[in-house]
Structures are given as structure tokens and as C-alpha cells.
Structure 1
Amino acid sequence: MTPARPGPPSTVTVVGIGADGWPGLPEPSRAALRRAEILIGGPRQLDLLPPECAGERVAWPSPLRPAVPRLLAEHAGRRVAVLASGDPMFYGIGRALAEEGAEPRVLPHPSSVSYAAARLGWPLEDVEVVTLVGRPAARLAAALHEGRRLLVLSADAGTPAQIAALLRDRGFGPSRMRVLEQLGGDRERTGTETTADDWERTQPPGDPLNVVAVVCRRAPDTLRLGAVPGLPDEAYEHDGQLTKRHIRAATLGALAPAPGELLWDIGGGSGSIAVEWLRTHPACRAVTVERDPVRAERILRNAERLGVPGLRVVTGAAPAALAGLPTPDAVFVGGGLTAPALLDTCWAALPPGGRLVANTVTLESEALLAGAYRRHGGELVRLAVSHAVPVGGFTGWRQAMPVTQWAVRKPVTPLPGADR
């Protein structure tokens, strides 16, 4: 039997709708919803439509994202309207539809973030937006800096309490919080401001459709974490296997993370290199490979504590544990350099233009790096750090073990005669 051929693609219009429902929609959005043969959205959004929107109503299943291609295929050739909260292209369904090749026509509505900034009088360009819809609350920790204004998109009515608990746990209990509910609708409520420390005592549960405004305030005894690599060593739980602060900053400088790039961190230890790679930009990705299960669990705790719970940890020994991992943009080798073929495997995995950085403190591994430097070029440096310490009634220098670092970029065009 000849398999059925798919029908022509759907005509998909994505309509942003706010808490004000049908009355708040402009005429082009209303017209698109009246014309639609299929209306797809959440139950709350579909209930906002009047009877004159006569198309078949289809509620999104859960989980939503895997259902997108199936629903598009089921309704191929028909006029489909998809409802989205606020601006469909701002943490909305518009992105998923575009990534599935639907090429939707998008009719946006003011987002809850725009409404919140307007109600608070906050310039939107000075505000950091963090969504916790379908994401762990721990990711908020990476945005906590003294005086920073945050708008947090809530998953439900319980999210504000989770935010307050996280702020207290991370030493930001004095932060000011306000919950803004049903923005733009007739049940809008901007709430009263309080601190994360006082949240449970002063704030009852509220509406599930809410945005949380936070003005960050760090408690006086809280460790200060900056926005660039080189966090204090005290920020990490570790057993001594930790790339120390100054070497870590130099290593991240050599790795040169950029938005969207993927790092392999081999011999993760405490996970500090991968954690600080991820903290440079929300779009960065990282996989840490660590053979010790105890350390692997510790890496996960550090990642959650420092606001990058998306760090993937692979428990196993490299190079075998590297099989099947997605292609990296950069590789850091912080341990296991003497494992047979490890460096060659990492080099082969890199695409043209990818970066590799390896650190060592042993003569045996240093010899391997010297050989790799002769074959592939790059930069071979020795990093030495000394700390001032008491010497009797005076002060002197105590030098840490020097670190040999090889940093190299894989050529886009192979070097003549290079051993690849």
C-alpha cells in the first residue's frame, strides 16, 4: 500500500491574549480567531473566547512541546489559530512553532513583563527577566546581584514562596519582593511589597497568573559572587579537587565562552570550570565528565547552588565516557591527561575553530602537553600564583604549585604537514 502523503501545511496564526481576554484584543486578532477552523490553546485561554469563535477547540496536552509537530500534522491544510499568553515570541509558543517550520503569522499582545515594568515604573532595559515556567527555581540564583532588579515569570501560585525560600537560602533574604497578578485584566492586583525574610509571615497564597518583582539585597555576611569567572573558592563544596580561583579565571579566559556554545569539562572535580562557563551567559551549555560518583553528585550540588542547574554530569572515565556526547565548541581537560588517547580523542571531537585547554601540575602530563604543543601549536604557558602569608612577625610569599596550561584553537584549514 502506498503511504498517505501529508497534506499542505497549515495556515497558522499565533494570537497573543492577555488577562483582559476578548475585550482587550485588537480587531486583527479577533478576525483571525473568528476565521480559524482549529483553535489551540490552554483551557484558560480557550475559555476567554466568545461563541462567535466557532472553530474546533483543542487544548494543549501535557507535556506541550512534543505535541506541537503532531498537532500541526493532524490539522494540515486547515486554518489554525494558536492562543498564547501575551507576546507569543517572548518565552511563548511562537518559538516552538517556528522551530517546527510552521512559519506562523504572529499577532502579539503586551507581555506580562511589559505590564509589570509599566506598573512598577521600571525601565525594561534595566531589568533582568528570569522564567521559572517549566524550569527549576535554582536558575534564579545566577541572577542575584546587589541592587539588581528582576522580573520572574511564575509557573503557578506557589512560585513566589519558592522564590522567597531561594533568596533566603542564598543569602538574599533582605531582597524586596512584590507579586503582580492578572496583569492587564479586571482582576489585576499589584500586591504589597515585603522582604523574602518576611514572606511566609506576611503573604498568603495568591493567583496562579503572576509575575514576581525582586529588588536584590544581599545580607551583610553573604559571600559576594561577581559576574565574571573567578568566583571565590569558598563558593564551592569540594574535597580539594578544585581549580583555584586565579587559575580558573585564566582558564575561562582561554576557553572564551560565547552564547550558545557547548563545553566538555573532562575530570570535573568540583565542576567549577563548567559552572562558571554556564554563568557567563544563559544560552551556554556544558557537560562535565567525572569518574568518581561522589564527586559527580557534588558537582550537581554546586551547579544548583550557583544557579546553573542545567549542567549535565556524566559519571564515567574519559575517553570512553565521551562517546555519544554532542559536538563541543570547546574542551577543557582538568584531569586524566595520562589516560590513553584522551588528548587525541578530544582533538578529533573538536570542529574546525573549536578550542581546547588543558591544565596540569605533574611532569608526566606536562610532557604530554609539550608534545601536543609541538604537533598542533597554540600557546603553552606556566601559571604561578603566590599568596602573602605570615612569617613570624612579618609577611612573605607562599607559592602554590605552578600550573602548565596548553591552549589551542583547531585550525579551520589544516596546517601543512600537521599531525591531525
Structure 2
Amino acid sequence: MEVDEMDKLDTRTLELQQSVGRLKNKMTEFIKREDEDCENMSNIPCEAISSTNETRSKETQLKSASDPLRIKKAVVVLTRLPDYKISALRPPTPRQFYSEEESLSCYDTDMDWEPGDDSSDSDYRLSGNKQKTTKSSKSNTKTRPAAQSSSRVKRNVLKPPVIISPPITKMRPNLPQEELKVDMMVLARKRFMKWQRGKIVDVITREDGRLKYKVSFEEKGKSLVSGHHIAYDNTPKLEQLYVGARVVVRSQDNKFWFQSAILAELPSRKNRLRFLVFLDDHTPLYVGLPFLRLVCRPLEDALDDIPDSSHKLFMKHYLRSWPYFPLYQYWVGESLKAELNEVQQKCKVQVIDCSLMQVIFQDNQQEWLHRGSIRLDHMTSFFEMHQENKDDSD
């Protein structure tokens, strides 16, 4: 009997243990369900629903107010800042020389210019660039005071420019010359810095074999001139032009006048596809191809035709060192000294256009100067130092 009672107790104990285990499992499952319900409730975006309802109500209001107005998704548009704004954000650097290949309009590569429509010729003239660069000059004036002060302190610090040799040559192309004959319309020199249109009425051969051409001008008068004082009346081809070529340029004051000059830059992206010329009175100009005429029979050294000795010396140095000719870097609004009426006078930079800059003197006279001109006080000192170093090396 005692054994049977012990077996019954053991059986009940087992049943109680199993029932307790079941209760524990049920409690564990219940707790898990409660936890999951809490997590689901916490993840419900109550505020988001209200905000969505609000935006929907606003959207319906806007649509009811005006049908064409619709809410669009926000789109981020990236725009490239202009060069003058990028340069304004850069820290100021000490003044240094730049070559012809390092103009302020820093484009990546040179690109040969191809003649196109003549309707865009106004972009080549300096007068067309004044309005475009005036706005940028005002913004540069406000953002460059620190650069000006640092440049005054370190004015004598010169760094050698990093120069990439361009593929352009300054050699005269070996092309056949057009024959000059009677009844041919040409441009001939009437006096210094004044060439006019006329017709060749006679060709005279001198005893030494030289040819002289008698030209009858359209605006009265006749003149007996040499071949290097005659230019073709048609627009030259691009392959006929080179750095150092003797050309004449249509005057900006009188469309019937032309002025003699030396070609100093061929079109590239760095100079906005224009030709840079130096007139015989040292005036620099950016022009387009339709404004140029090629001299028919230039001298062996085209610089021998320049009467001003100082400008002749400058052009000799320019052509000898091109394209490594040094250019000073100036900021819009900066004060400097430049020659006016054979006297160094104070002036201020108004506009910078590639290798040129427009300055205004104290008497409100405005002029365009090359950034390597001998009229600049900085370049005068540089040429003197360069000449002293050359003498010492000799």
C-alpha cells in the first residue's frame, strides 16, 4: 500500500511540474505578444499622419485657389560661379608675373579660331566689352582690399611663371604673294597712322630695281609709295596671319581710315577668339578678323617701319620673348602709376580684359593699356632690372 501511494505522489508531482511548465510557456508567449504590440504602437507615425493631412488640405486649398499652381518636388540645381567670384573667394597672393599663356581669363586649352558670321564682330571690339565687364569690376572692387594691401607689401617678390609652350608659331608662312598691278584697289599710307583706300594707277621701276606704286585715293590726292606702305583691300585668310605680322587696322573713329600695327596675339579661348594688335603709337587693341588687312610687301624686319624708338624697342622685346612675355597681375580698383604725357601719373584699374586693362587717370582720362606695357611703372622697373642683369652676364 505504501508503494502505491508513493507512485501516486510521484505521478501528481510530475503532472504539477508539467502544468507549471505550460503556465510558464504561456506567460512567456503573452509577454512577447505584449512587447510586440507595444513596439508596433510606438512605430505608428501619429504626427506624420496629421502633418500629411495638413499638407493635403493645404494642397487642396491651393488647387482650389488656382488650378495651374501645383506643388512640385524640390530639385537642387548646381550652377558654376563666374571666374571673378571664384577669384574673390581665394586668399590673396603676392603680385607675380604671368606670361601671355597665363591670362586672367584662365581657360584650359587654346583653340584655333575659325571665321564665322560677321554679325558677331561687335564682340571683338573693346567698346563691346566695356558694358560686359563693368558689373564684374564693381564686385571685384569690394572683394579685393586684402589683396591690394598684400600686393603693396610684397611688390618686389617675383615668381617664375609656369608656362606651357603653345603650338602657334610666329614664323612668316611661305605662301605665294598676290601680284600688285594697275587698276587694283588697295589701302595705301597717306601719312603717319592714316591709310586710305585707293587705286594703283601706275607702277614705276627705279634704277636700283625697286618698285614704286602711284596710288590715287578715293578722298582726293595721289601718293607714290613703296610696297611696305600698301595693304590688300580684302580680309586676309587665317593661315596668312602670324604673331609679328605687319597689318593695318580699321580705325574706330573713322571707318574709312586704317592704322598700321603689329599683330601680337592670334585668336584662342584665352583671349575670347580675338586678335591683339599694337598700333604704331603703342595703343593695344582687340579686334576681329574683318577689321584687319595684311600689308602687301612688308620689310624683312617689320619693326623697321615703326617710327617711335621706345615702342620699337618694346615690340622687339615682346616678339623675342613671346609667348613667355611677362604680364603683371592687377585687380580691379587697384591704384598704380602709368605714363601719361611723358609723366608718370596715378591711375586706377577699371576693367581687366585678358592681356589688357582699362585705367582712369586723375583728370578722368581713360585709356586701355597692355599689362606688360612700358608705360607702367612696374614694367619700367622690370625692364631696367632685366637690362642690368643682361649687362652683368655679358
Q: Which of the five TM-score ranges fits, normalised by the shorter chain?
A: under 0.3
Q: Which has the higher contact order (CA 8 A, sep 6+)?
A: 2
Give 1 or 2 for the bigger CA radius of gyration: 2
More helix by share: 2
* TM score, norm. by length of structure 1: 0.22
